[in-house]
């Protein structure tokens, strides 16, 4: 356990908010007792709208091939079967070892309460779990920090700089500005391409940037390597003093050429999870849950640029030894599958949300940090009933 003086100072830092930062910075770091109270949580925000139906494909649903001819994969060929009905996209195939070990889970057809199509608004709702437009937003992960009963667990690190809302709020969080020179994702490249299209001189220079290949700003291999290195270092930090970490993975806004772009993003996610595990080491990993969430899903039919547009539900990804022994480790894809029949679709075009993404987060917070259902449903996710989380956690 942390000693009393550390507790007092940390408490003061917490109460003073940012003003207490200077005095805290020189403190020796907390050493934590091993054991059941030594759990870790990593929250990954998949920015851009991850296509959950592409990552975890319902090959048992006849609607899939009907909606996505030429894109739906088959377990007879490339798709990696998970439970006889769903299969994992092969770009994330390195995660199959975790699945077999009961250290990987998926909750399908979940969404936040946001039903619009704007990324920023949707991400705000996902990260703050507050109604849109509300002033003084705080991130739910930040709010959860003060409810963790063991003080040492409050040490949290925000990897993508302090810009993102999920860890912002009254509780102090450390910031690690990891490799800001990381190459950019495919969807970002397409965005720049469109941006420069109206200016011939810029368009020409940008063509050279986009085509620079190895060492360039859009070098996919270097991007992957950079992500792996970052995730490994985050894993090492979690093996040290930190108990909570969050960072973002971009590349999911696949309006263009989804078949080309999606495997890159899915591979990034898979590589990041495995690198976290490697950086952490087996002992820390055994008490860890990685939770990957996205702001919304995507349309099921391809658009005329070979991509998909915003909307509907997606799939939450869970990984880590901390899943073992709970209902989150049941080796079947979780959630209530709405089906892909035309009448079952959201707005006739996307996956119908049947579950609340907050249920997944609530289950994980309860599981990892013993935050009580009462606190979760009043302070972290006000207005949420705990039933959904409870049923996820129930072994079954």
Among positions 94, 199, 347, 387, the unique one binding another protein when judged by CB under 8 A: 199
User: Which range of residues in 57-65, 139-147, 176-184, 328-336 is near another protein by CB under 8 A?
Assistant: 176-184
- Minimum distance between the CB of residue 330 and another protein, rounded to whole angstroms? 32
Count residues contacting another protein (CB under 8 A)? 57
* Binding positions for another protein, 119-158, rule CB under 8 A: 119-120, 123, 157
192 lines the binding site for another protein (CB under 8 A): yes
- Minimum distance between the CB of residue 282 and another protein, rounded to whole angstroms? 21
168 lines the binding site for another protein (CB under 8 A): yes
CB-wise, 158 or 359, nearer to another protein?
158
CB-wise, 177 or 341, nearer to another protein?
177
CB-wise, 61 or 187, nearer to another protein?
187
- Minimum distance between the CB of residue 284 and another protein, rounded to whole angstroms? 16
Distance CA(68)–CA(133), nearest Å, equals 35
3-state secondary structure the chain: CCCHHHHHHHHHHHHHHHHHHHHHHCCCCCCCCCCCCCCEEEEEEECCCCCHHHHEECCCCHHHHHHCCCCCCCCCCCCEECCCCCEECHHHHHHHHHHHCCCEEEEEEEECCCCCCCHHHHHHHHHHCCCCCCCCCCCHHHHHHCCCCCHHHHCEEECECCCCCCCCCCCCCEECECCCCCCCCHHHHHHHHHHHCCCHHHHHHHHHHHCCCCCCCCCHHHHHHHHHHHHHHHHHHHHCCCCEEEEEECCCCCCECHHHHHHHHHHHHHHHHHHHHHHHHHHHHCCEEEEEEECCCEECCCCCCECCCECCCEEEEEECHHHCCCHHHCCCCECCCCCCCHHHCECCCECCCCEEHHHHHHHHHHHHHCCCHHHHHHHHCCCCCCHHHHHHHCCC
Residue pair 348/374 in contact (Cβ under 8 Å)? The answer is no
* Binding positions for another protein, 30-69, rule CB under 8 A: 47-49
Residue 192: both structure tokens together = 């720049």
- Minimum distance between the CB of residue 171 and another protein, rounded to whole angstroms? 12
CB-wise, 72 or 238, nearer to another protein?
238
Provide the mask over 5-24, with x wherever binding to another protein is found by CB under 8 A and - wherever it is not. Answer: -------------x--xx-x
Distance CA(60)–CA(87), nearest Å, equals 9
Among positions 96, 217, 344, 385, the unique one binding another protein when judged by CB under 8 A: 217
Distance CA(43)–CA(174), nearest Å, equals 15
Place of tokens 């994969």: 73
CB-wise, 60 or 193, nearer to another protein?
193
Among positions 57, 112, 153, 160, the unique one binding another protein when judged by CB under 8 A: 160
233 lines the binding site for another protein (CB under 8 A): yes
- Minimum distance between the CB of residue 355 and another protein, rounded to whole angstroms? 24
- Minimum distance between the CB of residue 217 and another protein, rounded to whole angstroms? 5
- Minimum distance between the CB of residue 256 and another protein, rounded to whole angstroms? 12
Among positions 76, 181, 304, 343, the unique one binding another protein when judged by CB under 8 A: 181
User: Which range of residues in 139-147, 236-244, 332-340, 375-383 is near another protein by CB under 8 A?
Assistant: 236-244
1 lines the binding site for another protein (CB under 8 A): no
Distance CA(121)–CA(199), nearest Å, equals 30
**Binding footprint of another protein on the chain (CB under 8 A):** 18, 21-22, 24-25, 47-49, 118-120, 123, 157, 160-164, 168, 172, 174-181, 184, 187-188, 191-192, 194-199, 201-202, 205-206, 208-209, 212, 216-217, 233-234, 236-237, 242, 248, 250, 252-253
């Amino acid at each position: 356990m942390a000693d009393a003086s550390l507790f007092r100072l940390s408490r003061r830092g917490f109460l003073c908010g940012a003003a207490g930062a200077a005095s805290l910075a020189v403190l020796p770091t907390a050493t934590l007792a091993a054991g059941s109270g030594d759990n870790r949580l990593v929250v990954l925000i998949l920015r851009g709208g991850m296509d959950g139906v592409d990552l975890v494909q319902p090959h048992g649903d006849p609607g899939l091939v009907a909606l996505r001819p030429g894109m739906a994969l088959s377990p007879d060929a490339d798709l990696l079967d998970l439970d006889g009905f769903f299969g994992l996209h092969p770009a994330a195939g390195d995660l199959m070892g975790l699945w077999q070990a009961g250290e990987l889970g998926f909750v399908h057809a979940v969404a936040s309460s946001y039903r619009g199509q704007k990324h920023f608004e949707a991400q705000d709702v996902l990260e703050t779990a507050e109604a849109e437009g509300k002033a003084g937003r705080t991130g739910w992960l930040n709010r959860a920090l003060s409810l963790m009963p063991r003080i040492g667990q409050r040490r949290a690190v925000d990897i993508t700089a302090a810009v993102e809302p999920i860890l912002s709020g009254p509780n102090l969080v450390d910031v690690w500005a990891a490799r800001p020179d990381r190459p950019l994702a495919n969807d970002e490249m397409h965005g720049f391409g469109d941006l420069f299209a109206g200016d011939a001189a810029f368009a020409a220079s940008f063509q050279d940037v986009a085509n620079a290949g190895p060492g360039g700003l859009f070098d996919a291999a270097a991007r992957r390597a950079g992500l792996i290195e970052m995730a490994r270092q985050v894993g090492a930090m979690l093996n040290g003093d930190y108990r909570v970490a969050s960072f973002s993975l971009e590349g999911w806004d696949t309006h263009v050429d989804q078949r080309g772009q999606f495997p890159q993003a899915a591979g990034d996610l898979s590589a990041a999870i495995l690198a976290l595990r490697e950086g952490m080491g087996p002992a820390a990993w055994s008490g860890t849950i990685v939770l990957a969430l996205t702001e919304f899903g995507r349309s099921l039919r391809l658009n005329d640029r070979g991509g998909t547009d915003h909307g509907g539900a997606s799939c939450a990804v869970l990984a880590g030894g901390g899943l073992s022994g709970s209902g989150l480790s049941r080796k079947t894809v979780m959630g209530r599958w709405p089906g892909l029949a035309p009448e079952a679709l959201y707005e006739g075009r996307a996956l119908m949300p049947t579950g609340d993404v907050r249920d997944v987060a609530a289950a994980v917070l309860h599981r990892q940090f013993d935050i009580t259902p009462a606190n979760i449903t009043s302070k972290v996710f006000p207005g949420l009933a705990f039933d959904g989380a409870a049923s996820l956690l129930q072994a079954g």
